[in-house]
């Protein structure tokens, strides 16, 4: 029997916990606010940003929305970030990625006050994670750890294989699994014998952005498969990096797309906003 890891349900539980926390904080006069900046109108970004604002409203976090035109200059964006860094009532700053090509993403991320970097993308937060210090953790990998824990899937001593080495998912995922005492392997486009390596995994995390690339040849019997992909199939339907139907009978547990990792990313963003408000007392 394969277990479907229900990210939508688990994220709802987390959001309800956060909602209570936010209400408690409001009682003592503490309000929480997230600033969300979107540059241009990439339709996917508009959907994600909309979901984030909706989730904020659900838990009682205020969201300030900045929708800037595509031709916004890097200087203008940096000036806005600077202004939000100074604003006391703003606890979190999120600059939706990707940014237009004429803007240097690294420079913008670096400009965000690390104590308001609820995405956990700032080098200071990434560094803190890598040496086990307190900081903000990237929401998608943090959400995956939470999914595993709340599904009673233990990480300790397990063979964990990650496909993909992005700064936002693969690398922080490796650090978090390591922190939970997993034995971690990170694979990428230069990895030899990828199928064999992936097949070692008790827990396989796939974050490569290639529609349904991972099929039954990449998974061992009884593996747990976490699909981070947000792709479109030949009919334009949302799907993941894993061929869900092909691996389903072979695995012990799997996250669907949609309804798996995606909603957890947003729940962890809300969690980070609350943490930020608590820390900057
Ligand atoms: N600064 C920044 N921070 C991010 O966290 C960030 C970003 N930029 N850029 C883009 C990626 C992508 N991302 C997703 C969040 C939620 C869903 C999500 O809720 N997915 C739903 C489906 C959504 C749909 O229907 O399209 C699900 O999987 O069930 C997906 C993707 C956050 N990102
Ligand atoms: Mg760019």
50 CA → ligand 2 middle, Å: 22
pLDDT tens per residue, range 7-42: 999 999 999 999 999 999 999 999 999 999 999 999
pLDDT tens per residue, range 240-255: 999 999 999 999 999 9
Ligand 1, atom 26, residue with closest C-alpha? 47
Q: E strands, 23-75, where?
A: 33-39, 62-68
Distance between CA atoms of 232 and 241, rounded to whole angstroms?
Answer: 10
ipTM of the complex: 0.96
Mean pLDDT of the chain: 97
Q: Average pLDDT in the 41-61 region?
A: 96
CATH number of residue 161's parent domain: 3.40.50.720
**Whether residues 171 and 95 fall in one domain:** no
Report whether pLDDT(61) > 70. Answer: yes
- Label residue 278 left, alpha or beta by phi (over 0 means left) and psi (-120 to 50 means alpha): alpha
Q: Average pLDDT in the 159-163 region?
A: 98
CATH number of residue 50's parent domain: 3.40.50.10860
pLDDT tens per residue, range 195-242: 999 999 999 999 999 999 999 999 999 999 999 999 999 999 999 999
Pocket of ligand 1 (CB under 6 A): 47-48, 51, 94-97, 119, 139, 230, 238, 257-259, 262-263, 265-266
**Whether residues 181 and 232 fall in one domain:** yes
**Whether residues 69 and 149 fall in one domain:** no
Report whether pLDDT(281) > 70. Answer: no
The total number of structural domains in the chain stands at 2
Q: Average pLDDT in the 274-278 region?
A: 97
Q: Average pLDDT in the 179-203 region?
A: 98
For residue 279, is it within any domain? Answer: no
């Amino acid at each position: 029997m394969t277990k479907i890891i229900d990210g939508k349900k688990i994220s709802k539980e987390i959001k309800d916990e956060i909602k209570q926390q936010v209400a408690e904080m409001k009682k003592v006069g503490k309000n929480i606010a997230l600033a969300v900046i979107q540059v241009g109108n990439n339709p996917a970004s508009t959907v994600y940003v909309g979901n984030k604002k909706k989730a904020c409203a659900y838990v009682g976090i205020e969201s300030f929305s900045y929708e800037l035109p595509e031709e916004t200059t890097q200087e203008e964006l940096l000036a806005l970030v600077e202004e939000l860094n100074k604003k006391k009532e703003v606890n979190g700053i999120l600059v939706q990625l990707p940014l237009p090509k004429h803007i240097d993403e690294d420079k913008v991320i670096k400009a965000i006050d690390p104590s308001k970097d609820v995405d956990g993308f700032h080098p200071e937060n990434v560094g803190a994670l890598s040496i086990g210090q307190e900081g903000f953790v990237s929401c998608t990998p943090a959400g995956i750890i939470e999914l595993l824990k709340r599904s009673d899937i233990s990480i300790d001593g397990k063979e964990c294989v990650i496909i993909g080495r992005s700064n936002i998912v693969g690398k922080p995922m490796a650090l978090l699994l390591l922190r939970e005492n997993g034995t971690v392997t990170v694979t990428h486009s230069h990895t030899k014998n990828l199928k064999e390596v992936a097949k070692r995994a008790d827990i396989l995390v796939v974050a490569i952005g290639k529609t349904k690339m991972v099929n039954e040849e990449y998974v061992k019997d009884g593996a747990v498969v976490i699909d981070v992909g947000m792709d479109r199939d030949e009919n334009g339907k949302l799907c993941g990096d894993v061929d869900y139907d092909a691996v389903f009978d072979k695995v012990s547990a799997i996250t669907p797309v949609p309804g798996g990792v995606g909603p957890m990313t947003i729940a962890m963003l809300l969690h980070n906003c609350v943490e930020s408000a608590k820390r900057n007392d």
